[in-house]
Amino acid sequence: MVREAVPLTEQAFSGKETKPVLPAVGNIAVKCTKCKEILYTRDWEKDLKVCSRCNHHFRLSAHERITLLVDSDSFVEMDADLTSTDPLHFITQPPSHPDQRTYAEKLEAEQRKTGLTDAVVRGHATIETMPLALAVMDFHFMGGSMGSVVGEKITRMIELGIERRFPVLVVCTSGGARMQEGLYALMQMAKTSAALAKLREAQIPYFSLLTDPTTGGVSASFAMLGDVILAEPGALICFTGPRVIEQFMHIKIPENAVNSEFVLQHGMIDAVVHRRDLRPTLAQLLRLYSLT
Amino acid sequence: MAYDLEFEKPLAELEKKIVNLQRKGERIKPEERFQLQEAEREVRRRTEEIYKNLTSWQTVLVARHKDRPYSLNYIKLMCEDFFELHGDRSFGDDHAIVAGPARLDNQTVMLVCQEKGRDMKEKQFRNLGLPHPEGYRKAERVMQQAEKFGMPIVCLIDTSGASVAMMDEERGQAEAIASILAVMSRLRVPIVATIIGEGGSGGALGIGVADRVLMLQHSIYSVAAPEAAASIIWRDSAYAQYAAEGMRVKAQEVYKLGLVDEIVPEPLGGAHRNYQQAASNLKEAIQKNLTDLKQLSVDELLERRYQKFRTIGKYTRLQASEMPTSSSITQA
């Protein structure tokens, strides 16, 4: 499922399975997980982490994404310290399962791993000096899953848009609702959608950018409610992932069956935009939908 | 009605004894008559005891019981003059969602219900109660119609989730659900939704953004069907029982978390033991909530509905010293 860059260590050359991680500083090359092309890290980063051979868009962290999209130093982060309280006290574990960590322990490990407190970063910034409220999700934090914190931060960001009359942008990447927060997670779908309905009444534009992957409860709420919905090429975009469809329907789904191009073709989104064109495209939209 | 769930075994044995004694009819001996009465009392006592202490997984089994009353049963028992509306006016008609106006005592309400289907043929017809995108679009259409005519909306939720076939992706399942969530949050008429059996994932929430959310006593409400949740958390749907327990799916637990407004009591031994009683309890609860909601002005109604969902969520702020500092993922 995870399609990350594999650093070319000895292990990678020897053909043994390596744990997929983004390359650490000092790796001179990465292997594209899609076409297996070997890319110089320096070129790959200059290409905004897009494979120069097969156009595969690698996943970005929330902060990488912000650097990519907005004017430098214009981003003001808010609620960076908001964290989950494990509201269900989810400690249930099947005794035979190899991973015995509870939700609270997993949260802490994810925080250490990513340097984030949860799967979204929110605040306001400018693109070509035009202000906007934005929230950027991060797939590296528990699969970008939506619990109370993600729902709350996105709702507050929308409310900031209403209050200050800023256009609103959400960059989505998520496996869906966070199971360990149970119904609290499900209700974030209603909460964010209700806030967006208010934003709509206030006649403020909402742009949604879908990146790999956007699925489940996130796709069935704020991701699909954009006035303009953009997607990066080749991103998995669906309500139910191919793995689950295969499991429940007992049919084989071809690879890339439910990606950006598929949803564009079926009329669900407005455009598929290459990573290097994202900032100019967003600037164009901000100009066209400007609130003057 | 047979006792066919695993934990009902002691009840099944008592039931067998009762049936045997009853079969004797007039020829029953005095001491056997006494035994019969005793056994009947015992069955009632044990049922009460068992159903008071159902585990999460047992509740899931009761909520999915094959004889449990479905939406069409309740509609028939609670309402008069139901006229079913069909189709989303753009693609097709989904049979997992049954909608249309009906008389509930002396007012017209708009019903929007999920129906699983009883026998094999009907289950197929209704796609096991898993709605397609056109179902949510039909629901959205009739809800907007209800708003136009000032009819309160009554939703009955009973699904393990939205349909997940390839054709649902093609027709935009995610968009259909997202859209109805946003629309429901702003409808200018009262909405009462009740989970009558299973409330699973966005498929259930899709007709559940209501002013009042009720649950039948032995129903469940969860972020995903326990099997799906288990395969997400532990990559194996066989752990469904653990997921059900961890996610707190029982009506009593959901109520305790403050995520639903009211529990509607069921007849002894579950709604499937007495349809009439279950329906009259449900009708009474819906009536009462609709009456309450009618006292509110439209603006107040909308603000309260917004706040109801706006305030759901548990989070806290980390102290500066507890903040995660560096990331092991290198930034560009």
Does residue A213 have a cis peptide bond before it, meaning omega lies within 30 degrees of 0? yes
Beta bridge partners of B85: B99
Task: Quick: pLDDT tens for A69-104.
Answer: 999 999 999 999 999 999 999 888 888 888 888 899
User: 10 Å Cβ neighbour count for A40?
Assistant: 14
Is pLDDT at B59 greater than 70 in this prediction? Answer: yes
Q: Which residues of B touch A197 (CB under 8 A)?
A: 182-183, 185-186
> DSSP labels for B250-317?
BHHHHHHTTSSSEEE---TT-GGG-HHHHHHHHHHHHHHHHHHHHTS-HHHHHHHHHHHHHT---EEE
pTM above 0.90, yes or no: yes
Q: Which residues of B touch A241 (CB under 8 A)?
A: none
Q: How far is B101 from chain A (nearest CA, A)?
A: 25
Of the candidates B233, B323, B331, the beta carbon closest to that of A179 is on B233
Is pLDDT at B310 greater than 60 in this prediction? Answer: yes
Q: Enumerate residues 6+ apart whose C-beta is below 8 A from B326.
A: A115
Is pLDDT at A269 greater than 50 in this prediction? Answer: yes
| Chain B interface disruption, residue of A19, A66, A111, A186, most B CBs within 10 A | A186
What tokens does B157 get? 């939720």
Q: Which residues of B touch A220 (CB under 8 A)?
A: 162, 173-174, 177-178, 181, 202
| Chain A interface disruption, residue of B232, B306, B319, most A CBs within 10 A | B232
Q: How far is A134 from B196, CA to CA, in rounded Å?
A: 39
Q: Enumerate residues 6+ apart whose C-beta is below 8 A from B131.
A: B94, B96, B97, B114, B159, B162, B163, B203, B206
Q: How far is A166 from chain B (nearest CA, A)?
A: 20
Task: Quick: pLDDT tens for B195-231.
Answer: 999 999 999 999 999 999 999 999 999 999 999 899 8
Task: Quick: pLDDT tens for B14-54.
Answer: 888 888 888 887 788 888 888 888 888 999 999 999 999 99
pLDDT band at B1 (very low <50, low <70, confident <90, very high): low
pLDDT band at B329 (very low <50, low <70, confident <90, very high): low
